[in-house]
């Protein structure tokens, strides 16, 4: 399994903007498209904002199903602080919720 160390990928210990999230998003898309399993390591990041999670992890749910993401991407929760983990969980729940609402709306229209 390939390992992505976010701090090395973004060349910073602060994951604070959608721009900084782009390399992670692109790396994850590439892994899924190549059907390559990948682990994401958030170690040594001092700050991770919701905007970063939305633009890297949350954005994936608009392209891939949760099953596909779970098959190829492992987010290493042990490398997150409790607050960071809670932010990530919230972003994932919101992304899945929006996807569900869109699916329902498409079926109603």
Provide the phi-psi class of 64: left if phi over 0, else alpha when psi is between -120 and 50, else beta. beta
Alpha-carbon separation of residue 108 from 4, 104, 105 (angstroms): 40, 6, 5
Q: Would the pLDDT of 107 be above 50?
A: no
Q: What are phi and psi of 43, to 5 degrees?
A: -55, 145
Q: Rounded distance, CA 86 to CA 108, Å? A: 33
CA 100 and chain centroid, separation = 18
The residue ranges of DSSP E strands in 2-108, in sequence order, are: 2-5, 14-15, 38-41, 47-48, 73-75
pTM listed for this prediction: 0.87
Sheet strands (E) in the chain: 2-5, 14-15, 38-41, 47-48, 73-75
Q: How many domains does the chain have?
A: 1
Per the model's pLDDT, the better-predicted residue between 7 and 107 turns out to be 7
Domain that holds residue 37: 2-108
Tens of pLDDT, residue by residue over 13-70, are: 999 999 999 999 999 999 999 999 999 999 999 999 999 999 999 999 989 988 999 9
């Amino acid at each position: 399994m390939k390992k992505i160390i976010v701090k090395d990928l973004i060349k910073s210990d602060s994951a604070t903007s959608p721009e900084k999230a782009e390399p992670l998003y692109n790396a994850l898309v590439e892994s899924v498209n190549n059907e390559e399993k990948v682990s994401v390591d958030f170690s040594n990041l001092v700050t991770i904002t919701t905007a970063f999670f939305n633009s890297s992890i949350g954005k994936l749910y608009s392209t891939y199903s949760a099953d596909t993401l779970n098959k190829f991407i492992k987010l290493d929760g042990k490398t997150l602080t409790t607050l960071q983990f809670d932010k990530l969980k919230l972003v994932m729940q919101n992304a899945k919720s929006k996807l569900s609402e869109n699916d329902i709306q498409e079926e109603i229209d």
